[in-house]
Chain A
Amino acid sequence: MNLNNFTAVAHDDERLAPLRAEVRRFLAEERAAGAFTRATGWDHWDPEFSRKVGAKGWIGMTWPRRYGGQARSSLERFVVTEELLAAGAPVRAHWMADRQLGPLLLSVGTEQQKDTYLPRIARGEIFFCYGLSEPDSGSDLASIRTAGTKVDGGWAIIGRKVWVGYAHRAHMMNLFARTSPRSDEDRHGGVTQFIVDLKTPGITVRPIVNLAGEHDFNEIVFDDAFVPDDLVIGTVGNGWKQVTGELAHERSGPERWLNTFSLLVHLVDRVAQHPNERDLEKIGRLVSQLWTLRQMSFSIATLLEQGGTPNLEAALIKDLGTLYDQEVPAVARQIVSEEVRAGLSEEDYLGELLDRALYYSPSYTIRGGTKEIIRGVIAKGLGLR
């Protein structure tokens, strides 16, 4: 076990630098045109903006050209992603398909699935959500009960999914369902991934409003919804292995430590205008952590590009990154006192950013693997389990 794999120092070579500059130009123009502001954040559904990103070739950019990709490297994708997220550009609509479904289809999908979905995903025309958790299955994902029963020409789905982000806006879902009973010998066997068109009869989408008063989650009820055979992803019964193969991508990216960046930007400006030793130190600690996280994340993107599967390293980043994203609002409230807040101008959305970061902060260490599950993964990597 080696914790010193973080050796690739973040550095833009002649390939990355012009790409970064191009993304910045695009974002500056879009911001100037009023397409987005820092107030909403990257976790915001905006099909029109996703189509623009697709037109630039920045969705599915690592995929082969014949499927609508640009055959770019994962480091190039890293650069584009961190630029979009740091700017607070609304990229949520294409996010899940770009990060997870596309690579999954490329590795286990059929030719027909790849031809049908990948080019449309890359153009920002078709959006996916993920159906994993259920009312009785969260961290223990293998315990899901939503079932697919074999019927003529396909599968009949019965069950319930919860915490499905943006199911009310997405076209399609990557559904994780049990297709044979759970056995004690093979706890992780018998689950299958399906592509599900959310307009299929028998599917009901109900909103779950979160503590911020916003509707991003949904509950999905499947009441005998039919999924044709050709929309099974990969191998029947092999869903668990397929889903865990993408963990290094899912856990090590900049979305694990850039959720609060817009708040930090405004906080730096606030402290710059009203400098004092105490607040400067607080800002300095946050920036030092952020700089370190970026070094780690960049290192892992380099390892991924070289074909590695740094799952342990990715778990380390997820734990540190999500804790950092929780620390930013915790520090911000020490700087933005009630007194300060009362004095903010109408145009200054520092207070709004703080509220949002605070409201969403509990979710960071829950989604994508709870802090406890992630630390279990690390402990396993250390040989303790």
Chain B
Amino acid sequence: MNETQRILLETANRLLGDLCTRPVGDAAEQGAWPADLWRRLEETGFTNAARSTARGGESGDIGDMYLLVKAAGAHAAPVPLAETLLAEQMLAAAGLQAADGPATIGPVLRADRMTLARRGGRLSLSGVARRVPWARHARTLVLLAEDRGTTVTVRVEQVPVEAQGWNQAREPRDTVRFDGTEISADAIGNGFDFDELYRRGALCRTAAMAGALEKVLALTLRYAGERVQFGRPIGKFQAVQQQIAVLATHVAASNAAANAAIAAHAGGDGAFQIAAAKTRVGQAAGVAAGIAHQVHGAIGFTHEHELHRSTRRLWAWRDEFGSEVEWASWVGQTVAKIGGEVLWPFLTGRSAGAAADVPGAER
């Protein structure tokens, strides 16, 4: 982390710490839009972190973007910050106009496909995208659609939410439906394919989980120091210490995996690293949430206590954009393709993922 990023992180932690209060979180889970929080994020420029200077932003540095996604994860910020930043990445890649206000992206499920039809000079969009994050609050929806055998990026201003749903953290996950909606030609460009969007989504959830894991450890350490049983803080008992130590190993591993995946992605590749990191951090999420709840005992199981705001996010995010089951299979297929003897050169290679770097990789 450089000096600028240190300042950015400090600012983000202060702002998010002040604004992501329990009432704000509770209201968001009941369907309210945290307008004040979002406005403050816009004012500080955080919502524009993915925008390059050419597109009216300040840097568009990928490292900055994921730093903010991680911080938002640590503070359980009930806003589509990651989605808005992802949307800008898609719009920029497709050469489309940047979005104002909260934005989101789709489809997020492998099975969902949007299609673009051309009749005369008219373009129309059809299809259903499910589990779209924050769709009901998004002013702009950036979609991938099939257009004559290729994938195009489509910018939509009216988001047709057909059904509202939630993830395990009660963040909005909605169904949007298009039935031949007319699309203007200047709202279409060539950019990402679905795998690219899916991978970047996985990286966002990985970074957010790394943040939430740090929060869960901090809450657990605080509680173990405060809660007294048998005349001592429970953190003085070896059985509890050993559990918290295990929690810490998973937090550390998650930080290492997320950092490496972000760096690889910033370096222009990262397919393998993102898959391995989503797998590793997804694995950590379950273990860490389990230990944190065990240490907190009954109070951590209440709505009143803040622990669940982080643990329910870990449970939700580990499944979104591919669970560790899905990504582990991808990693397994990748290494099975290159073979055992090439595994080591592959893991230590320039990008641990660019198959072209590995001798004999295509055999």
Q: Which residues of A contact B225 (CB under 8 A)?
A: 383-384
**Which residues of chain B come closer than 8 Å to A209, judged between CB atoms?**
none
B201 within 8 A of partner (CB)? no
A277 and B348 in contact (CB under 8 A), knowing A319-B246, A382-B221?
Answer: no
B242 touches A379 (CB 8 A): yes
A82 nearest CB neighbor, chain B only: B348
A residues in contact with B335, CB < 8 Å: 268, 283-284, 287
Q: Shortest distance in angstroms between B194's beta carbon and chain A's nearest beta carbon?
A: 21
Extra contacts besides A3-B251, A268-B343 (7): CB < 8 Å: A284-B328, A284-B332, A291-B257, A291-B276, A294-B348, A383-B225, A384-B236
- How would residues 1 to 30 of chain B score, 1 for a CB under 8 Å from any chain A CB and 0 otherwise? 100000000000000000000000000000
Q: List 22 A-B contacts (CB under 8 A).
A: A11-B350, A12-B348, A20-B348, A265-B343, A268-B335, A268-B339, A280-B328, A281-B328, A282-B328, A283-B335, A287-B331, A295-B256, A295-B257, A295-B259, A295-B260, A376-B238, A378-B248, A379-B245, A382-B248, A383-B225, A384-B221, A385-B236
Interface status of B336 (Cβ within 8 A of chain A): yes
Which residue on chain A has the smallest CB distance to residue B329?
A: A281
Complex interface bits, B316-333 against A, C-beta within 8 A gives 1, otherwise 0:
000000001101111111
- Structural contact, B340 and A265, CB atoms closer than 8 A: yes
Q: Is B244 an interface residue (CB 8 A)?
A: yes
**Do B352 and A291 touch (CB < 8 A)?**
yes
Measured in the bound complex, the distance between the Cα atoms of B223 and A98 in whole Å is 44
User: In the complex, which residues 120-167 of chain B have their Cβ closer than 8 Å to any Cβ of chain A?
Assistant: none
Decide if the interface of chain B is mainly helix, strand, loop or mixed: helix
Bound Cα distance from A375 to B274, whole angstroms: 29
Interface residues of B in 253-278 (CB under 8 A from A): 253, 255-257, 259-260, 263-264, 273, 275-277
Which A residues lie within 8 Å of B333 (CB)? 275, 280, 284
Contact A266 B276 (CB under 8 A): no
Q: Per-residue 0/1 for A258-286: is the Cβ within 8 Å of any B Cβ (1 yes, 0 no)?
A: 00010011111101100101011111110
Residues of B within 8 A of A10 (CB): 260, 348, 352
Q: Contacts of A291 on B, CB cut-off 8 Å?
A: 257, 260, 273, 276, 280, 347, 352
Residues B326-363 near A (CB distance < 8 A): 327-337, 339-341, 343-345, 347-348, 350, 352
How long is the Cα–Cα vector from A282 to B248 in the complex, in angstroms? 24
Q: Interface of B with A (CB < 8 Å)?
A: 1, 214, 217, 221, 224-225, 235-236, 238, 240-242, 244-246, 248-249, 251-253, 255-257, 259-260, 263-264, 273, 275-277, 279-280, 283, 324-325, 327-337, 339-341, 343-345, 347-348, 350, 352
